[in-house]
């Protein structure tokens, strides 16, 4: 039982580290995607405002 608990703790900590690494790796890309999406929405709004 003790070794099983140790394995679970090691696996969960490894999963946490992997999640943090993925978050750090993709955070910049995610920010760029969000910025481009916001710019697209704002651009469409300003274009429609200019048309009307």
- Position 4 pLDDT exceeds 80: yes
Q: What are phi and psi of 20, to 5 degrees?
A: -65, -40
- Position 30 pLDDT exceeds 90: no
Quick one: pLDDT at residue 10? 96
Q: Provide the CA 11 distance to its chain's centre, in angstroms.
A: 22
Band of pLDDT at residue 47, cut at 50, 70 and 90: low
Structure tokens at 36: 């481009």
Q: Give the C-alpha separation, 49 to 35, whole Å.
A: 21
**pTM value?**
0.45
Q: Give the C-alpha separation, 3 to 9, whole Å.
A: 10
Quick one: pLDDT at residue 17? 93
Domain ranges, ordered by start, for the chain: 21-52
């Amino acid at each position: 039982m003790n070794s099983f608990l140790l394995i679970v703790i090691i696996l969960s900590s490894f999963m946490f580290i992997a999640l943090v690494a993925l978050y750090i790796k993709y955070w910049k890309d995610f920010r760029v995607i969000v910025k481009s999406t916001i710019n697209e929405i704002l651009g469409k709004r300003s274009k429609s405002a200019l048309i009307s």
